[in-house]
Amino acid sequence: MKKLLNTVCAVALLALSWGAVQAQTYPSKPVKIVVPFGPGGFTDVVARILGVKLSESLGQPVVIENRPGAGSMIGSDQVAKSAPDGHTLLIVSSTHVISPWIYKSVPYDPIRAFAPVSKLVDSPYVLLTNPKVPAKNVQEFIALAKAQPDGIHYASSGNGSAQHLIGGLFASMTKTQLKHVPYRSSNLAATDLVAGVVESSFAGVPNALAQVPNGRLNALAVTSAKRIPQLPNVPTMQEAGVTGFDATIWLALLAPAGTPASIVNRLNSDVAKIMSTPETQKAMYDAGVEVSLSSPAAMSQLMVSEMDKWGKVVKEAGIKLE
């Protein structure tokens, strides 16, 4: 028995020593952050702000790779199957824990296939309309949609995306029949919205800030429970008459499951320092998001609770994809 205990202790000490060695030598090559959405959306914007500062902190280049498609599953699957050495990371949105409720098949377990590093930011979405749409507020938009069943379209960054889900939630809560039009990125969706190809979109704050002040798009409401400082004159959905509507999206940094705790903790510490600086916080504010950090353990718990929360939303909204 004593020999067995000695063996167990030796193995544990060896694992700790190996983890310490990995932490000291990490990173040994460029780090890649996969963004499972197209360029131009707020996930991409946050990734690029973080990437520049993280490169300085790690002493290695940090490359941002956009891998959009299938409601963020293509990029996420790539990282889930990557070596768990901290050199391939993933920035996800709430979509990450929504996909299992929408798609019949997800090629990875959104919880078990990843090692959470940290929550990064929170952000609402904004109901935007093309100026040619005669509705000037949410109630007029609802009335217009009811008068033209399936005649009002809303663009999103893809099937199963947060934009898609929030649009479905809005349609469900207002008993309207909005026609969903999926794009490969929120940037492409915004481009067609400005051009008048589609009438509306539940877009990220960066897209709103790029188009609303110059009058190219109208902002009818934000999806959070409180107004946001970047668009102080835009009401919340609840203020606009959609009682109980509150849909804020988060972003988080993940690594593949099995990544040593020493590396995860190193990344968590570096991210916390970067995101807490006035310079980064201003950049995030300008991008329309609010810095919101966490420990790896707290992020893991949040993912589990959010998966349960959005599962109920998906069922109530009746959203399902093949």
Please determine whether the domains at 28-123+250-317 and 125-222 fall in the same fold group of CATH: yes
Q: How many CB atoms lie within 10 A of CB 112?
A: 9
Q: How many CB atoms lie within 10 A of CB 238?
A: 17
Q: Given a cut of 60, is residue 8 above it in pLDDT? A: no
Considering only residues 188 and 322, tell me which one the structure prediction assigns the higher pLDDT.
188
Token code pair at residue 279: 């310079």
Average pLDDT over every residue of 190-199: 97
Angle of helix 261-275 relative to helix 2-25, nearest 10 degrees, comes to 40
pLDDT tens digits, 103-145: 889 999 999 999 999 999 998 999 999 999 999 999 999 999 9
Single-letter code of the amino acid located at 321: L
Q: Go through the chain and tell me how many residues it has.
A: 322
What pLDDT band is residue 40 in, cutting at 50, 70 and 90? Answer: confident
Share of the chain above pLDDT 70, in %: 92
Cα distance between residue 167 and residue 259, in whole Å: 36
- At the fourth CATH level, the homologous superfamily of domain 125-222 is Periplasmic binding protein-like II (3.40.190.10)
* Cβ proximity of 309 and 169 under 8 Å: no
The whole-chain average pLDDT of the chain stands at 91
Q: Given a cut of 60, is residue 11 above it in pLDDT? A: no
* Cβ proximity of 151 and 135 under 8 Å: no
pTM equals 0.80
The pLDDT of residue 3 is 59
- Fold classification of 28-123+250-317 is D-Maltodextrin-Binding Protein; domain 2 (3.40.190)
Backbone angles phi, psi at 183, to 5 degrees: -120, 175
CA angle 318, 250, 298 (to 5 degrees): 110
pLDDT tens digits, 243-258: 999 988 899 999 999 9
Across 153-157, 196-200, 284-288, least confident range:
284-288
Token code pair at residue 12: 């544990």
Q: Given a cut of 60, is residue 17 above it in pLDDT? A: no
Cα distance between residue 319 and residue 159, in whole Å: 10
Q: Given a cut of 50, is residue 18 above it in pLDDT? A: no
What pLDDT band is residue 189 in, cutting at 50, 70 and 90? Answer: very high
Q: Given a cut of 60, is residue 2 above it in pLDDT? A: no
The pLDDT of residue 7 is 55
What pLDDT band is residue 239 in, cutting at 50, 70 and 90? Answer: very high
The pLDDT of residue 21 is 56
The domain segmentation of the chain, as residue ranges, is: 28-123+250-317, 125-222
Give the closest residue to 42 by CA, choosing from 235, 220, 317, 228: 228
Angle of helix 95-102 relative to helix 162-174, nearest 10 degrees, comes to 60
Q: Given a cut of 70, is residue 81 above it in pLDDT? A: yes
The pLDDT of residue 175 is 94
pLDDT tens digits, 216-226: 999 999 999 99
Count Cα atoms within 13 angstroms, Cβ side, for 117: 30
Share of the chain above pLDDT 90, in %: 71
Asked whether the bond before 27 is cis by omega within 30 degrees of 0, the reply is: yes
Token code pair at residue 195: 């051009």
Q: Given a cut of 90, is residue 20 above it in pLDDT? A: no
Q: Given a cut of 90, is residue 85 above it in pLDDT? A: yes
Q: What's the Rg (C-alpha) of the chain? A: 21
